[in-house]
Amino acid sequence: SDDDRQEDCIFCRIVAGEVPSEKVYEDETVYAFKDANPKAAVHVLIVPRRHYASVAELAKADPDTLAHIVQVAQQIADQDFHGAYRLIFNTGEDAGQSVFHVHAHVLTGQVLPE
């Protein structure tokens, strides 16, 4: 909702349609779009519409939406690559998190290197 919106958050702006993105999937609680700098043949980001800084915050506040994100990742991989995928939540700057609106990286569409 607007109440939970973070004004300077790029992913809040993408969810609101203020910044263009290549939509892959959307519903009432999540929005999925192509990563601008793909690291695999299919590299999708899935975000909750509501702003949470990290997967830890999301897990605590709204575990149903976290479970739903996993199900959406599975659906994307079922369509694009016989159900095989890698799901990554970078958590904390020192782990490579650069956008502090929780997002699942879904890497699929090819055999993934270790």
Tally of helices (H runs) and strands (E runs) in the chain: 3, 5
Q: Decide: is 1 part of the binding site for ligand 5GP (CB under 6 A).
A: no
Q: Of 43, 68, 82, 103, which one is the catalytic site residue?
A: 103
Question: Could you tell me the two tokens for 77?
Answer: 């991989």
51 is catalytic: no
Q: Decide: is 21 part of the binding site for ligand 5GP (CB under 6 A).
A: yes
Q: Closest CB to ligand 5GP among 50 and 105?
A: 105
Parallel, antiparallel, or unpaired: how do β-strands 23-26 and 86-88 relate? unpaired
**Which residues neighbour 71 within 8 Å (Cβ) at sequence distance 6 or greater?**
none
Q: Closest CB to Zn ion among 48 and 109?
A: 48
Q: What residues make contact with ligand 5GP under the rule CB under 6 A?
A: 10, 19, 21, 33-37, 45, 90, 96-99
